[in-house]
């Protein structure tokens, strides 16, 4: 089985070298690492004084302009540059937790399993709320998700993250690939098509990456505005599986975890963040009713609106 990895880049730091080193140290060999880099100048600044091609001979670097970046189209372009059996999508800030990531991630691909995504672990710098959120969204038990799970799992049936996800290339092409123009959620939009066509998504809890963020309230608002926009733009995916109930489940899980750990004093700040997230999400769902200048101010992805 030939495996490639696609990683979009923007203003990469020295952590990129650590990521590449760890990918090349995996127990399953990676053939090509396809780097879709936005704005060549930042990559040149990072690699100044080194022979990048010699240091990483299996890395392909493809440059694009910032205005040409799109969450779906750029990843699709990277996928089409690969002739591998399996292509793993990652983000530049996701770090393999060990050398077994690719082996564990791809173990069940085959048959009706078309896509598999990894567990995301919080970093040592993560806030308590972020640690709880990661445990809530990425539990320690693997599972398979199919169309018959929609009544019980709801929107979680389609949950899949390109922070680290493996795609069978034949199924990817058969399904038409990632949507070419989207503000967010290209992974879940594709995953919904996989599920609705009768195939399966695997969540692999033993395939682990370290990936988390300590977002501010305003960052949460902007991010969730774009989330709301993506759901408003794709009612065929999200219309019959509302996500608000998942937010309430997270609030309850956070209350319970903070209470049990004796850190209930952190709960008010968490609730404040939830308020910003909900406001952003609701505004995004109703973005067509807002003045354009409001939309541009609220969105985290300004280029999407050009």
Question: Of 17-31, 146-160, 192-206, 233-247, which range is least confident?
Answer: 233-247
- Give the residue from 62, 74, 136, 134 showing the smallest Cα distance to 303: 74
Position of tokens 């990817």?
172
Give strand pairing partners of 117.
165, 203
pLDDT score for 242: 66
pLDDT of residue 122: 94
- Angle, alpha carbons 219-223-226 (nearest 5°): 145
**Is 225 exposed, middle or buried, given 0-12, 13-18 or 19+ CB atoms closer than 10 A?**
buried
Q: Which band of pLDDT confidence, cut at 50, 70 and 90, is reported for residue 190?
A: very high
Q: What is residue 245's predicted lDDT score, i.e. its pLDDT?
A: 75
How far apart (Å, rounded) are the C-alpha atoms in residues 82 and 84?
6
121 Rama sector, left if φ>0, alpha if ψ -120 to 50, beta otherwise: beta
For residues 140 and 119, the answer to whether their CB atoms sit within 8 Å is yes
Q: What is the mean pLDDT of residues 47-51?
A: 95
Q: pLDDT of 91-140, one tens digit each?
A: 999 999 999 999 999 999 999 999 999 999 999 899 999 999 999 999 99
Top-confidence residue, 301 or 164: 164
Q: List the structure tokens of 49.
A: 């004084």
Per-residue pLDDT reduced to its tens digit, 225-270: 999 999 999 988 888 776 767 788 899 999 999 999 999 999 999 9
Global confidence as pTM = 0.93
pLDDT band at 303 (very low <50, low <70, confident <90, very high): confident
pLDDT single digits (tens) 26-36: 999 999 999 99
Please say if the pLDDT value at position 14 is more than 80. Answer: yes
Residue 65 has pLDDT above 80, yes or no: yes
Pairing of strands 200-210, 143-145: antiparallel
Please state, for a pLDDT cut of 70, what percent of the chain lies above it. 99
């Amino acid at each position: 089985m030939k495996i490639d990895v696609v990683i979009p880049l923007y203003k990469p730091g020295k952590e990129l070298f650590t990521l590449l080193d760890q990918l090349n140290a995996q127990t399953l060999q990676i053939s090509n690492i396809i780097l879709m880099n936005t704005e060549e100048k930042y990559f040149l600044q990072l690699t100044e004084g080194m022979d990048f091609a010699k240091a990483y001979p299996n890395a392909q670097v493809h440059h694009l302009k910032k205005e040409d970046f799109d969450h779906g189209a750029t990843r699709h372009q990277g996928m089409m540059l690969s002739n591998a059996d399996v292509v793993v999508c990652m983000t530049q800030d996701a770090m393999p937790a060990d050398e077994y990531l690719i082996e564990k991630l791809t173990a069940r691909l085959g048959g009706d399993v078309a896509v598999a995504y990894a567990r995301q672990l919080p970093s040592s710098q993560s806030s308590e709320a972020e640690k709880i959120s990661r445990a809530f969204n990425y539990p320690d038990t693997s599972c398979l998700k199919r169309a018959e799970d929609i009544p019980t799992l709801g929107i979680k049936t389609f949950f899949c993250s390109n922070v680290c996800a493996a795609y069978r290339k034949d199924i990817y092409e058969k399904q038409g690939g990632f949507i070419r123009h989207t503000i967010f959620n290209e992974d879940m939009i594709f995953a919904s098509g996989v599920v609705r066509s009768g195939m399966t998504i695997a969540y692999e809890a033993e395939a682990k990456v370290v990936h988390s963020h300590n977002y501010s309230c305003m960052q949460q608002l902007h991010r969730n505005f774009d989330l709301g926009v993506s759901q408003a733009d794709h009612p065929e995916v999200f219309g019959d599986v509302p996500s608000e109930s998942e937010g309430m489940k997270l609030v309850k899980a956070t209350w319970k975890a903070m209470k049990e750990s004796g850190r209930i004093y952190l709960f008010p700040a968490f609730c404040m963040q939830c308020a910003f997230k909900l406001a952003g999400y609701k505004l995004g769902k109703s973005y067509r009713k807002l003045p354009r200048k409001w939309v541009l101010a609220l969105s985290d992805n300004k280029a999407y609106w050009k």
